Amino acid sequence: MSRIRIGVLASGRGSNLQAIIDSVKEGRLDAEVAVVVSDVEDAYALDRARSAGIEARYIDPARKGARLSKESERRVIDVLDEFRVDLIALAGFMRILRSDFVRHFSGRIMNIHPSLLPSFPGLKVQMKALEYGVKYSGCTVHFVDEGVDTGPIIIQAAVPVLDGDTEEVLSSRILREEHRIYTEAIRLFAEGRLKIEGRVVHVLPERRDDAGGDESRH
Amino acid sequence: MSRIRIGVLASGRGSNLQAIIDSVKEGRLDAEVAVVVSDVEDAYALDRARSAGIEARYIDPARKGARLSKESERRVIDVLDEFRVDLIALAGFMRILRSDFVRHFSGRIMNIHPSLLPSFPGLKVQMKALEYGVKYSGCTVHFVDEGVDTGPIIIQAAVPVLDGDTEEVLSSRILREEHRIYTEAIRLFAEGRLKIEGRVVHVLPERRDDAGGDESRH
């Protein structure tokens, strides 16, 4: 068994991408980020990839709005296939993926979302949580299906919302947990320990013989 | 300032009622449960009230369904007024309150709900949480408004959902937190420390002079 190859899709600064890169570099994640793709030409995520010696590709989205053009999305699929990725990790990717994409990589696309889903799907969710007045929020790593933030949940983390929290303060408290659980979710995937049953994701126990195998791989 | 008087509405076994009674008895809550009202004649909650020497009243709901009849609800209001309650605590009360009721006791009705609202409002929510596959659930104490489980949130508690959890196991893990936060929410109300702003509930800091006052009251 070789290290899994990850393709990361990002539209912005890519702080979750950086967390994944760091986890790999520091040996906490036995995986390789094979390629980073962005629909935003000057996304800082692409700079982060280049700085880490990772292939960085900009794909012209060809249109504004919630989705890439069909042709652009096809090009993203081609790049991910070219790099033979085992897993696609969305990290602040601001487009909704079409059914063709989701089906092509079925069960192999993860997203991280800064709320305790199913509360607050969509955008600007830390502000929505503050406006609703919840006392706990958090983040969710889930498999991507054809809905928006509706796919089977892999890991969540809960954080308190404190009186006087601003959007920035709450976002940053949640972000620390995002970085932690995204690495953890990818690690479980890489270890073959995630089993989707209906919409529930079971985490299988660590296998002792695999732990031995890990050693011999290095 | 005298101890606040609580009216509890319950339809079932009343485990949250018992938690409130115990908190009062053990001095963790400076309040008095003045009356317990039920729409179910043989509700165990009424037995609990009688055992604790608390007035227990059954009000014939006069109809099945989500709401009491208008006349029955009027009788509940009359009982609560008769006992001059400062706060109404719903504890497994299985009816939706009409606008008249909510307006009559505006800002003085609390409910406890076994999920992290706004996720999973309504009924059978522990099962809904398991079927959705969330990895965290919990409970919420909120002020009651005219919607179902939509009012301003006072306190929440988060608990992990573990692989293999049954509805019973998860419910019991959540219930322990319900008992803790319901007492805490009533205590904050009794201390005048809850301030509703829009739909956000702010918890004001403890006032030192009040703490002194508490002592002299006993």
pLDDT in tens, B67-92: 999 999 999 999 999 999 999 999 99
Task: Tokens 């006072």: give the residue.
Answer: B154
Q: What is the number of CB-based contacts under 8 A between chain A and chain B? A: 75
How sure is the predictor about A214, in pLDDT bands with cuts at 50, 70 and 90? very low
Of A153, A156, A203, the CB nearest to B163: A203
Q: Which residue has the tokens 């031995």?
A: A212
Are B134 and A155 within 8 A, CB to CB? no
Residue A166: both structure tokens together: 């601003």
pLDDT computed for residue A92 by the predictor: 95
pTM check: above 0.90: yes
B57: domain range?
Answer: 4-216
What is this model's ipTM?
0.91
> For residue B112, what are the CA distances in angstroms to B116, B174, B215?
11, 11, 29
Contact A158 B152 (CB under 8 A): no
Residue in this structure with the two tokens 């962005």, named with its chain if needed = A38
Question: In the numeric block, which tokens belong to residue B40?
Answer: 């179910």
Considering only CB atoms, B163 lies closest to which of A134, A157, A202, namely A202
- Do B33 and B61 touch, CB atoms closer than 8 A? no
What's the structural domain count of chain B? 1
- What CATH number is attached to the domain comprising A151? 3.40.50.170
**B113, B142, B179, B202: which one is catalytic?**
B113
**Could you give the CA distance from residue A92 to residue A101 in angstroms, rounded to a whole number?**
17
| For range A46-50, the mean pLDDT | 98
Dihedral angle over CA of B76, B90, A164, B1, nearest 10: 60
Please report, in angstroms and rounded to a whole number, the separation of the first and last CA atoms in chain A.
11
Residue A209: pLDDT band (50, 70, 90) is low
Residue of B nearest to A205 (CA): B163
Mutate one of B115, B116, B135 to test the A interface: name it (highest A CB count within 10 A): B135
3-state secondary structure of A73: helix
- Mean pLDDT, rounded, of chain A: 94
Q: What angle do CA B141, B114, B119 make, to 5 degrees?
A: 90
Q: Do B116 and A117 touch (CB under 8 A)?
A: no
Given a cut of 70, is residue B27 above it in pLDDT? yes
Find chain B residues with C-beta within 8 A of A185's C-beta.
none
Strand ranges (E), B19-146: 31-38, 55-58, 87-90, 109-113, 136-143
What is the rounded CA–CA span in Å between residue B149 and residue B78? 24
Task: Report the residue of chain A nearest B163, measured CA to CA.
Answer: A202
Q: How far is A201 from chain B (nearest CA, A)?
A: 7
Residue B218 has pLDDT above 80, yes or no: no
